[in-house]
């Protein structure tokens, strides 16, 4: 498009949309599946990162191009809703649009194509549901977590890690599951029910375990400091007296409320920690804000600013225990909401980051299966199954709609084809074999088409395909692109 033209119409607009979508799909194609390759993302500052995560790559490609932005939003929402399937979704949109473009070249038009795509989508989803395997939630969770971890560096520990992810997803929602990495060997990964903080008690001699009311405070647990240099010993005594009174007042409150553990976001005066120790109360200091929030959610406590005016409603309830491992840590099991923590020792910083990313996905898909315990066969099998089902349905009477319905079926095969290519296999050969027997899958390691034990949540497949079609359709509907001035200037603040 040249700089001056502000409106791109009709076929030109369509071509621009298809080109952008196709280019973005091309960019992530190579990363699909366990044999997918990494991409190096380099920013203007020369910082770089290796990744094969579709969503991050799409994010990096997000430019001021409006179509690239739309696709990036699609990837983000797939990630948020289904935790997985982002690369699949983008590849599928690219293929649906490419085929639509061909159909238009052959004399079809968007409305007929959209109609055919919608019919085919409904048929594809029917087939996915009919072929879904119901399982016990924990088994489904374990199976899909295994798929998510396979092909990543965490794969060596897949059995244990998948088990931990499944159990964590059984206990808590993904937002309440924390993955905590620290130096060590991943053999020792474990699941802990509750919130874990990597902190020991603030003073020695405190109890190892307590149960009861807990207090969370944001401010430092110490008296107001005197900000003057004082030489007069009497003045010093006076100030100390005031400070002690201040503390005593707070100590009385703590005793009165029967508090068993105190969590301080900031520091703690030694007089305060000694008081807690003598009372048999567990105390922690310098806790991260995000951890404070998790403890608050789990225990039902409010994070208070001033100890002076706390009352019972501000307190939470929990069992708190301290543990001495290579790293001291404490576990908080609240009564308010369920939390879980997976402790993942990792040999290097980089491994820690990779484990974390792999397990985040695994926990997400495991959670989906706890909620909706249906899995489908992956490795390209589910797409071949959907394609076969569409082809077996009664043809549409309108030939343009029918052509588009069949193009949809063909477009599904882009997933097994891409997997086959990632393994260096012949994609036509793979297509023929899978079409003849859709229950098989692409074995990317053995480079053959055979029965595979790769399971994905039905929810991920449904969501990736529906979202590819819905967004593909709305892009196909776009008749012209107007290079507008900022939308906010036109529609005011309400525009989003």
Query: Residues with catalytic annotation?
Result: 53, 86-87, 361
Nearest to 195 by CA among 301, 83, 354, 277: 301
Buried b (16+ CB within 10 A) or exposed e, 419-450: bbbbbebebeebbebbbeebebbbbbeeeebe
- Identify which of residues 86 and 123 has a Cβ nearer to ligand ADP in the complex: 86
Beta strand residue intervals within 161-250, DSSP E: 177-183, 190-193, 195-197, 209-217
- Does residue 326 contact residue 149 with C-beta atoms inside 8 Å? no
Q: Which residues bind Mg ion (CB under 5 A)?
A: 84
Quote the tokens at residue 475.
């892009």
Helix (H) / strand (E) element for 59: namely helix 54-61
Q: How far is the CB of 133 from ligand ADP (least distance, A)?
A: 14
Q: Of the candidates 14, 86, 404, 471, which one interacts with ligand ADP according to CB under 6 A?
A: 86
Q: Is 419 in the site for ligand ADP (CB under 6 A)?
A: yes
Among the listed ranges 65-73, 84-92, 178-186, 472-480, the one in contact with ligand ADP (CB under 6 A) is 84-92
Q: Is 95 in the site for ligand ADP (CB under 6 A)?
A: no
Q: Is 94 in the site for ligand ADP (CB under 6 A)?
A: no
Quote the tokens at residue 47.
């910082």
- Scan residues 48-77 and list those touching ligand ADP (CB under 6 A): 54
Q: How far is the CB of 360 from ligand ADP (least distance, A)?
A: 13
- Identify which of residues 406 and 442 has a Cβ nearer to ligand ADP in the complex: 442
Binding mask 23-42 for ligand ADP (x = CB under 6 A): --------xxxx-x------
- Does residue 406 contact residue 106 with C-beta atoms inside 8 Å? no
Q: Is 444 in the site for ligand ADP (CB under 6 A)?
A: yes
Phi and psi torsions of 450, nearest 5°: -155, 180
Cα separation of 102 and 445, whole Å?
A: 34
Among the listed ranges 13-21, 145-153, 155-163, 225-233, the one in contact with ligand ADP (CB under 6 A) is 145-153
Beta strand residue intervals within 237-363, DSSP E: 261-264, 282-284, 303-304, 316-324, 328-334, 340-346
- Identify which of residues 84 and 291 has a Cβ nearer to Mg ion in the complex: 84
Q: Is 415 in the site for ligand ADP (CB under 6 A)?
A: yes
The binder of 54, among Mg ion, ligand ADP, none, by C-beta within 5 to 8 A per type, is ligand ADP
Q: How far is the CB of 460 from ligand ADP (least distance, A)?
A: 7
Q: Is 364 in the site for ligand ADP (CB under 6 A)?
A: no
Q: How far is the CB of 93 from ligand ADP (least distance, A)?
A: 12
- Identify which of residues 121 and 202 has a Cβ nearer to ligand ADP in the complex: 121
Binding mask 449-468 for ligand ADP (x = CB under 6 A): -----x-x------------
Q: How far is the CB of 146 from ligand ADP (least distance, A)?
A: 9
Q: SS3 helix, strand, coil % of the chain, rounded to 5?
A: 55, 15, 30
Q: How far is the CB of 87 from ligand ADP (least distance, A)?
A: 3
Q: From residue 403, how far is each of 227, 416, 417 by CA, in Å?
A: 82, 22, 21
Helix (H) / strand (E) element for 159: namely helix 158-171
Q: Is 82 in the site for ligand ADP (CB under 6 A)?
A: no
Nearest to 224 by CA among 204, 247, 206, 200: 247
Cα separation of 358 and 448, whole Å?
A: 26
Q: Of the candidates 378, 438, 457, 472, which one interacts with ligand ADP according to CB under 6 A?
A: 378
- Does residue 123 contact residue 390 with C-beta atoms inside 8 Å? yes
Sequence-separated (6 or more) residues with CB below 8 Å from residue 392: none
Cα separation of 39 and 50, whole Å?
A: 6
Q: Which residue is nearest to ligand ADP (CB)?
A: 378
* Total site size for ligand ADP, rule CB under 6 A: 22
Q: How far is the CB of 418 from ligand ADP (least distance, A)?
A: 8
Q: Of the candidates 84, 101, 314, 333, which one interacts with ligand ADP according to CB under 6 A?
A: 84
Interface contacts to ligand ADP, rule CB under 6 A: 31-34, 36, 54, 84-88, 147, 150-151, 378-379, 415, 419, 442, 444, 454, 456
């Amino acid at each position: 498009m040249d700089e001056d033209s502000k409106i791109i119409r009709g076929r030109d607009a369509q071509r621009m949309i298809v080109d952008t979508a196709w280019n973005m799909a091309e960019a992530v194609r190579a990363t699909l599946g366990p044999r997918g390759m990494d991409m190096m993302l380099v920013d203007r500052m020369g910082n770089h990162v290796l990744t094969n995560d579709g969503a991050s790559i799409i994010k990096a490609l997000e430019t001021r191009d409006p179509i690239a932005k739309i696709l990036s939003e699609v990837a983000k929402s797939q990630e948020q809703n289904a935790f997985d399937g982002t690369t699949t979704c983008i590849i599928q949109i690219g293929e649906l649009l490419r085929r639509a473009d061909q159909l238009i070249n052959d004399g079809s038009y968007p409305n007929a194509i959209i109609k055919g795509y919608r019919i085919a989508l409904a048929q594809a989803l029917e087939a996915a549901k009919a072929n879904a395997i119901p399982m016990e939630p924990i088994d489904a969770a374990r199976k899909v977590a295994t798929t998510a971890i396979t092909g990543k560096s965490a794969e060596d520990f897949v059995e244990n890690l998948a088990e931990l992810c499944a159990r964590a997803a059984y206990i808590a929602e993904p937002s309440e599951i924390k993955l905590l990495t620290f130096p060590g060997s991943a053999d020792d990964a474990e699941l802990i029910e509750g919130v874990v903080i990597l902190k020991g008690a603030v003073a020695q001699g405190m109890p190892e375990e307590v149960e009861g009311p807990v207090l969370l405070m944001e401010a430092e647990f110490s008296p107001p400091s005197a900000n003057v240099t004082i030489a007069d010993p009497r003045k010093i005594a006076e100030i100390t007296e005031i400070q002690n009174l201040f503390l005593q007042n707070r100590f009385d409150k703590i005793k009165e409320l029967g508090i068993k553990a105190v969590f301080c976001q900031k520091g703690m005066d030694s007089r305060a920690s000694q008081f807690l120790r003598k009372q048999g109360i567990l105390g922690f200091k310098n806790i991260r804000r995000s951890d404070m929030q998790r403890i608050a959610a789990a225990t039902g406590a409010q994070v208070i600013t001033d100890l002076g005016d706390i009352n019972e409603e501000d307190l939470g309830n929990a069992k708190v225990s301290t543990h001495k491992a290579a790293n001291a840590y404490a576990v908080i099991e609240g009564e308010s909401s369920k939390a879980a923590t997976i402790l993942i020792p990792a040999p290097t910083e980089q491994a820690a980051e990779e484990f974390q990313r792999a397990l985040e996905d695994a926990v997400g898909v495991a959670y989906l299966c706890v909620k909706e315990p249906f899995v489908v066969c992956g490795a390209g099998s589910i797409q071949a199954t959907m394609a076969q089902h569409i082809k077996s349905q009664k043809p549409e009477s309108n030939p343009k709609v029918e052509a588009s319905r069949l193009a949809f079926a063909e477009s599904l095969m882009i997933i097994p084809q891409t997997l086959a290519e990632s393994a260096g296999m012949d994609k036509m050969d793979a297509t023929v074999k899978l079409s003849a027997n859709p229950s098989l899958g692409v074995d990317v390691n053995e480079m053959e088409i055979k029965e595979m034990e790769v399971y994905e949540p039905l929810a991920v497949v449904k969501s990736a395909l529906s979202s590819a079609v819905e967004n593909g359709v709305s892009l196909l509907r776009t008749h012209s692109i107007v290079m507008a001035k900022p939308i906010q200037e036109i529609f005011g603040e309400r525009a989003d």
